[in-house]
Amino acid sequence: MSKDLTTEAALRPVNHLAIIMDGNGRWATNRGWPRLVGHRRGAERVREIVKASPALGIKWLTLYAFSTENWKRSTEEVLGLMAIFARYIEREADRLAQNGVRLRFIGERGRLDPKLQRMMAGIEARTAGCDRLNLTVAVNYGGRDEIVRAVRKIAEAAASGILDPLHLTEAAFAERLDTAGLPDPDLVIRTSGETRTSNFLPWQAAYAEFEFTATLWPDFTAEELAAVIQRFGNRDRRFGGVST
């Protein structure tokens, strides 16, 4: 990564960056390769972006890996993706812990293979004390599903008398989301040229800045990330107010 570009990006850092990692399949198809080759290359790109994030001032990094709608893909691709998730956990556990990266997962885990669920819980426990970078990976995640599950928790609390609906606040609602304890994202990046959010963090990203790049995820480098963050520093974030 360019030293000058890193320095410029770090002047106005993004505290929480969220990325919709899109384009793995197209990247492979464009080269005449199976889609899973693109997903494996995408996992390698994750390693590079995670490594570069602290130097760019990022403290929280959330990655959209597998949505609740991705089950519609072929059985071969879904099983391949799950195998890639498991392999990433196995290979990266030591590296993440040694580099102070805390890894957490959001999404509904009940549909995932029990062995994968145990691996996820294991690496979460192992890296729980790390604080150099907070890495969150969304697996079987959908924003609407997350909100419905949160509402269900609130309804149960109200029915049992634990929560008075009249005293429900935005903060109390956020505590029931998968992202409880995480700050809202400052910037959301989507790769591959698509210009939609695909059910990713609809509550949390209400006031996030968005950047859509035509670059496919396997080609999204740390240098391009630094350039995006540099542009972010020039944006006027008013949160409904007026510029001062």
> Which are the catalytic amino acids?
22, 70
Residue 171 φ/ψ, nearest 5 degrees: -65, -40
- For residues 5 and 231, the answer to whether their CB atoms sit within 8 Å is no
Inter-residue contact 112 to 87 (CB < 8 Å): no
Paired tokens of 46: 């994750």
25 contacts 39 by C-beta, under 8 angstroms = yes
Query: What one-letter code names the amino acid at 100?
Result: G
| Cα gap 179→238, rounded to integer Å | 24
Instruction: Identify the DSSP state of 213.
Output: -
Beta bridge partners of 209: 187
φ/ψ of residue 62, rounded to 5: -120, 125
- Axis-axis angle for helices 75-98, 35-52 (nearest 10): 20
Token pair of 7 as six digits:
């320095």
Amino acid letter, residue 113: D
Cα 88-19-153 angle, rounded to 5 deg:
85
